């Protein structure tokens, strides 16, 4: 994990708000540059702890997350439902993830 992420995690946990880490990837959730704006802020009403474009932790609507962070957050409790993940990604304007068939 990059040193800047470790510093951000340390600062976050010191203020008692939790780390905002994605359990699936072990990486901090991050916003997307083209999504951190007034139109997306509050779009779903589901606010998460993530690192914004300024490199600081904050509360962001899930619509403001980048595609990788959104998928990691959806899988945070061990879930693996490609259909549900793709539906949420599409509804929030992200590209679909190609599902692999294990049959």
pLDDT digits (tens, 9 = 90+) for 44-54: 999 999 999 99
Alpha carbon distance 94, 19 (integer Å): 25
Would you give the DSSP letter of residue 45? S
pLDDT digits (tens, 9 = 90+) for 3-28: 665 555 444 443 334 455 554 457 89
Task: Retrieve residue 53's tokens.
Answer: 């474009």
Q: Is pLDDT above 60 for 62?
A: yes
* Selected residue with higher pLDDT from 13 and 97: 97
The model carries a pTM of 0.66
């Amino acid at each position: 994990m990059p040193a800047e992420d470790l510093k951000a995690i340390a600062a976050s946990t010191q203020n008692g708000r939790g780390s905002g880490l994605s359990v699936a990837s072990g990486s901090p959730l991050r916003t997307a540059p083209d999504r951190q704006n007034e139109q997306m802020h509050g779009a779903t009403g589901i606010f998460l702890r993530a690192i914004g474009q300024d490199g600081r932790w904050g509360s962001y609507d899930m619509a403001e997350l980048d595609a990788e962070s959104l998928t990691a957050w959806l899988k945070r409790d061990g879930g693996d439902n490609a259909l549900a993940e793709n539906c949420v990604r599409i509804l929030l304007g992200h590209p679909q993830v190609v599902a692999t068939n294990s049959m």
